[in-house]
Structure 1
C-alpha cells in the first residue's frame, strides 16, 4: 500500500493549532476535533494527527466513528456512569461507619432536616481510616452534606419550664403600671447594661474621618485588675418616655443600683413629678436589683425614707425580661 505524504507546511499548521487548542478541550471534544482534522487530511490523516497530537490512532478512529454515526451532543465529557466512582460506591461500609461515629456525638432533634455534629471533619476522617475506611476530610464533608448535615452555630431556642401563673403575673404588673400612669405617678424600669473597660480599647460603631485615617486601637484588648470598668445603669421613665443613665466605675452592687435611682430622683425625677408621693419600679429578677437581694431592699427603704416616697417594686418572673417597655407595658417578652 502506498504511503500518502502530507506536506510539511500542513503538518506545521496542524502542530500550531493543536498546541493552541487542545489544552482547552475536554476528553470527548479533543477526540472529535482530532477526528475532524484527520478526516480533512484524507488517507493517512489518522496516523499523522495521532503522531502530532501524541494520542493513539484508536482514539482518533473512535472519534471518526462517532462523527460518521452522527453522535448526539451529550453536554458532558463522559457517558452516564463513566468516570471515577464515589467513595461511598467504592466502599459500601463507609456511610454506615460514618453514621455510627456521628450518632453518639449528634446534637439536636434527630428527625430535623438539618442536623449538626460536634466532631470535626479531620477527626471523623481519622477515625474512619482507623476502622479500615480510608477517606479524606473533604470527602467526609461531602458525605455529611448528602446525609443532611450542615455547619450551624448553637441557637438558644429551648424555653425553660412554663409556670401556669406567668401570664397572670405579667397582667398584674401591666395593670399596676396602668393604674400608676393614670394617676400621673412616676413609673420607671431599671436595669444594668453591658460593662465596658475604660481606656484605649476597640469599640463598635463608626465615625466620620478622613479617608484612610481611622481611629486606631490595639489589635487585642487586655485588661488587668486595675482597669476601670464602666457600668451603665439605666432608669427608663415610662410615663415621659425618657431615659436616664448613671455610669459607675466600681461594681454592680445593690448600693450602686439604689444610688442610681437616688440620683435620678434628685436630678430629674422630682422635677418631672413635683409633689409625687409614690414611685413604681419594674425590674428583672437578677443582678444587683434582684428580688431576693436583702441589701437592695434595705438600701431602697433608706432611699424611700430620704425622699418621702412610698416605693413599690415589681419584679418580672425569673428567666424573663422586658424587651420593649411601652407606656402601656403591653408587650413584656418571655
Structure 2
C-alpha cells in the first residue's frame, strides 16, 4: 500500500476508536513502523509520546486486550493547560519572540532553548507546566527546537543568532514595503539540469524567476532580498556569485540585498523545509527516468496550505572553474553592511 494512503487509513481508523482502542492502535502502528515509530505516530496523530508508549506497553503485557469497564465520558479527562491557563500561550509566544531565530516567512520557526529552560521561564511567570507540555505547545505552534549537536563551522553561537535576527529584520522591512524576499539553495558538488552548478547557473535561476514571476507580481519593487546559503555556488565568499549578481542588477535596474545563513545552518533555509521536503515526498518511489519526468513531478507538487511549485529545465551549458579577477571585483557596486559584512551586502545598478 502507498505510504500516504496507509497513513490516511490509519488516521481514519483512529477517528472511530475510543480512548483505549486509539492508544493501543497507535501503539501497534508505532511497532509496525519500527525505529522512530513513536515519533512518527506522534506527528501523525497529535497523541502524546507517553500515550503511544502506554499503548505499546499494554500490547506487550496483555494477551487479551479487553477494554476497561469504564471509559471517560466524551469530553472528560484532564483539560489541556492552555484551556485552564489561557495566558500561557501569550507568554510562550513572548519567550519565543525573544529567543527565536530563522526566516520570518517560514512556517517552521526554531529556538535554541530547551523545553526544560522554557518551562522554567514559564514557571517564573506563575504558570504550572512541565517540559513535555512545552514540547507539545511548541509543536502545535510550528516551532522546532534546534539541538546544538555540533559546533557551527566558522561562527560562534552568538554570532550565528545575531545573523538570524538580522535576516528577520531585513526580511520584515522588505515585506512591509511590498518588496520580494526569495530564498536560494544550490547543491554544491552536484550536477544540475544538463550541466554544472556554477555561480552563473545560480544567478540565472534568479533571473528566470524574475522574468517569469517576479516582475509581474512585484511591478513596483525597488529592491529584492535574497536569503542564501553560506557555501556552494551562491556562497558568501564566491566571487562569481557577486559578479553575476551585478550583471543581473544592471539588467533589472533594482538593487539586490543578500543575507547569507551562517555556515552549518543551511537546513533552516525556507526552501529546505517548505519546498524540497514536499518535492521529495511527491516523487518518492517513482523512477526518475528522464528530465521530463522530474520536471512534471516537481511541478505537480502541491500542499493543502497552498504551496505550488513551478519548474523548468535549463538547457544551457555552464563552464566550471571560471576565475573572476580582482580588477573586475573592484568595479562592483557593492556595499557591505555594518553587521557581519561577510554575510550581508547590497549590490546597486552600475551608474551610467
TM-score normalised by L of structure 2: 0.32
TM-score normalised by L of structure 1: 0.34
**Higher RCO (C-alpha under 8 Å, 6+ residues apart):** 2
Q: Which has the higher helix share?
A: 2
